[in-house]
Structure 1
Amino acid sequence: MQSVRTQVCVVGGGPAGVMHGLLLARAGIEVVVLEKHADFFRDFRGDTIHPSTLELMHELGVLEDFLALPHQKTPKINARFGDYEATVADFTHLSTQCRFIAMMPQWDFLNFIAAFGRRYRTFDLRMETEATGLIEEGGKVTGVTARTPEGDVEIRADLVVAADGRHSTIRDASGLHVEELGAPMDVLWFRLPHKPDDPETTTFFFEAGHVVILLDRGDYWQVAYIIPKGGFDRIRARGTDPFFAELLRIAPFLADRTSELANWDDVKLLSVQVDRLGRWHRPGLLLIGDAAHAMSPIGGVGVNLAIQDAVAAANILAGPLRAGAVREEDLAAVQQRREFPVRVTQKMQLMIQDHVIRPLLGKRGALKPPLPVRLADRVPMLRRLPARLIGVGVRPEHIETAEDPAARVGAARIGAARGGGASAAA
């Protein structure tokens, strides 16, 4: 078995993993990031880049290059309850560099960060390398085993950071306890064409028994159709005609394009789960992002919260890693820093799930807009609070790790390469 030695092994090439790897490598720390797929070109749910993440791009000095990538700006979010429509979140008053959500394919975001990382000799992103388990010695995690097309490999490291998502292999291997918080819903995820005379903003449609979210992606609508938990088989058994009839009752302007969905193969089921670890760490091991706390899709904050974890972990751990002595107290400090915003955000998500989504999915008859929506419609200043919670979060992080000039391998401008391949972003 091939053996590799590094200071930090990050498992998972998603937003949290690649960002954490970049920040540590930028600080001169040797990092190996493992991504099990050959490229980033996949249909993700988390394609919303919030103002908090755009602020990090500014702090890294690459915001202009980043926004050169194709994206759509969402400065406001609307909600429609029957015939009543109101703006419920207005990002234009945030005290950030960018006062909008950038709708951008996650593969473009990941390729961009990976390209940035390759400017540092200490950054090693290994595609088609799937972590399979932990290496432990004397009660401490000392690395991971992984599978590659060329054979198995072990990566020995001073620290393993698990950022491999809500179905984390490393979390399963760690033995850490997961608290399931529950979710009353799943999401059907599909695309429909966007036409010039369509509405120009991301909109949440609430009807008795239904919630539909239309995300404006320029030339297409990304549709999130919320259904009761475990209800997809029943919907599919009824056939596509009743399904489309319900969709068109909610958003009639889509009537001339549902034929674009040939069959159920064009509809992806996203199973919603909300959970968190009671303890995010063991000696030699730290979990961040969805591996530590799977978020509800409400607010679309999961990706951005995971990136905040990555930044906080880099801020706290760069010094101990540079000194060659990461204690479990340092890992505990990451959880202490990030657990509060996670708990508060999940609490708000659970309240919306239990008091809005669940009753709505079971409701029949006419639907009235809730009082907070009516108040936000009448008092525009009230739209700033949800914008702050969604766009910036409970405890935003800022980059405190200094760049190590010796780690640089060049100063080339980061390209805006597209196509999803790892090599395309280099």
Structure 2
Amino acid sequence: MKPGLIMRLSPPQILVYGFTLIIMIGAVLLSLPIATVSGESMPFLDALFTATSATCVTGLVLVDTGTYFSAFGQLVLILLIQIGGLGFMTMAALIALVFKRKISLKERLVLQTAMNQGSMEGIVRLIRKVLLYSLTIEFAAAVIFSVRWSFEMEPGQAIYYGIFHAISFFNNAGFDLFGAIHKPFGSMSHLAYDWIVNLVAIILIVLGGIGFIVIADLLEYHKTRKLSLHSKVVLSTTGALTVIGFVILLIFEFTNHKTFGALNGSGKLLASLLHSVTPRSAGVTTVDVSQMRQASQFFLIILMFIGASPGSAGGGIKTTTFAILVGALVAMVRGKEDIVMFRYRLGKDRILKAITLTMFAIFMVVFITMLLSTTEDHAFLVILFEVTSAFGTVGLSMGLTPQLTEFGKVVIALTMFTGRLGPMTLAYALGKKTDKELYRYPEGKITIG
């Protein structure tokens, strides 16, 4: 792409084209014979689907990662996950900082869009923090995982597994290699009682899901002694959803002998906590979600639709959007005109954006579910679950993904792509730029309710 053409592109367009380029490069590499254990080339559509899933940090897979891909293929996947999780513009900024190249105004605008920031002020400083915090957290988790697994594996394999899963879990990707040592598509089912691995995985998922802005805010709290409104809303909403999810899943699945019912008391508590966190956008499981009761599966769909928080690697409508919708509901019920959170009044533009994003997401999930219901021979709830998982870049699956038709693979891949970039970013990138209206129509009234 010519530099002159790049300068004419808007930040959302650069993000869309950049992610597309990364995915295409990943697909080509994964389709090489060296990327598979068998030495046979992976069909390009399957490679494209897998590259999309890795770059969009989703975790939906057509084949078992640990048994199908060679070390080269797994390396490609983890690089795609790291680039997709941090964002390709963040990685580009890292290269620029390493070579001491000044970051241009255009690049700052793209970084602002990628990090979902309201202004460019301090954007380069934030990027430095993002890179530092991410690598530090991943390194610490990799060390813990490596030490834990060194009791069961050769030191080299333990370190390799530690690094791979630390990156995958922190970026909320959900890819794992456990199929090579346990069973294909088994995720962490053999680690249901392992408190160390589960708790570290939960911490990684939460840290990766709350967003880098909140992490930076928390680490500087000892200096500032205050948190931003954004951080307060993200932390309170994430905490509330985790507690509610823990209680509901524990109640619904407590006596289900195909899931939590097969575990002892501590196992039930640990599984409930993990599965209340993993719909944030992670896709890590210790039980088969396809065997859960339908009430639990539908509740997971709701959690996946909400997703992670702004500025993170996760998808969904985001926790802040959900908080604004709940705030609007409470305000209307109480007869209040304003939505107030932590003694701050929210502007109407924030409320309209939250409603627009939610409606856009609902229409998208419903339309794709209806579309796949005509091409995929599976139950409606299974299809809805898979579509929501793709949109929320979660990676939880009820077993539909490996059985998708060619058309279904394309549709789910596009859904993952939209979920990672965000429906609004994609709409801005593909839509035409409109001039600001110079006049306003008179206000009208419509009866509601």
TM over 0.5: no
Higher strand share: 1
Using CA pairs below 8 Å that are at least 6 residues apart, which structure has the higher relative contact order?
1
| TM-score, structure 1 as length reference | 0.29
| TM-score, structure 2 as length reference | 0.28
